[in-house]
Structure 1
């Protein structure tokens, strides 16, 4: 018998009754962890932040993110990252470049092998962070320095998020068919239903019908 839940995202997992996905690493927590979700609307577009999900592990977080953020909009890819793995700079004011406000020192000497980091920029308060690019670094500080050199002139930039690429669960190229059930997802968009048009048409067809 499947686990029943008021949350349809849980029900669709078809978990056996009484079975709950284990919490990753922090099993002592009595609540799910928070993951941040980045949505890619079309090929070539930057992954843009759309909101958080709460889940016991990243695989379930990805399923929740797919259910919550890709069902009603065109989507070709999702990225998720545990909130605690994202380093955040202070916020600047609109029109400023936050890199100019930071004192990021050059690393003395690389003692480790560089690895990729993903950089996200917030261009204006009230908007969403969008993927600016990837840098190679041995630490978050070095990643921020590399980002400043590579992307710091693409202002205004009021806030920066930095996360290791290895900490980002990314949908693969071969996973794109999970979003191709109907072209352009129009069946999921409320505007495509034209509910009021159907109601008006129904009323016109039945206005002379005896009650």
Structure 2
């Protein structure tokens, strides 16, 4: 639907398309661009700039931990390295367009290491984080499973419920916590200590 040479052009292009009633399903966003970097451009697109907001897949040669974390905090739904083969890129676009989160395996590994080295202090084991007070015990369990990267089908299998029931639980968790997608749920699960690296 469109291309842009920098972050500012990307935001303007998406807003122009949205004004014409054609919001892109997925935006491929580079991290390092002139005028406005991809992380700030992602934040502008997803913080009420476009309704409904597009899904953002961050595509870059830079796999630095801070960029991954910042992109996910800005609301990106996926992070993929530019050296990924074309088939992997197409798969990533489809996954993100379907509302799922996607992290390249090497990035997921580095993100876990980042949390081990520099992440927030974790709550004591068994403690219920205050940010999750609105959730029922079952919903908290569902958030933990989402945070561990399980799909709805895998959550249903783990909880011995129908997949539609698992999907309903996931939707309620997202609504109660104001989460846009699974990527934000993963970040929150780590930030609250609900999921622990290596646990």
- TM class by smaller structure: under 0.3
Name the structure where helix makes up a greater proportion of residues.
Answer: 2
Give me the TM-score of the superposition, normalised by structure 2: 0.21
Name the structure where strand makes up a greater proportion of residues.
Answer: 1
Give me the TM-score of the superposition, normalised by structure 1: 0.20
Bigger Rg, which one: 1
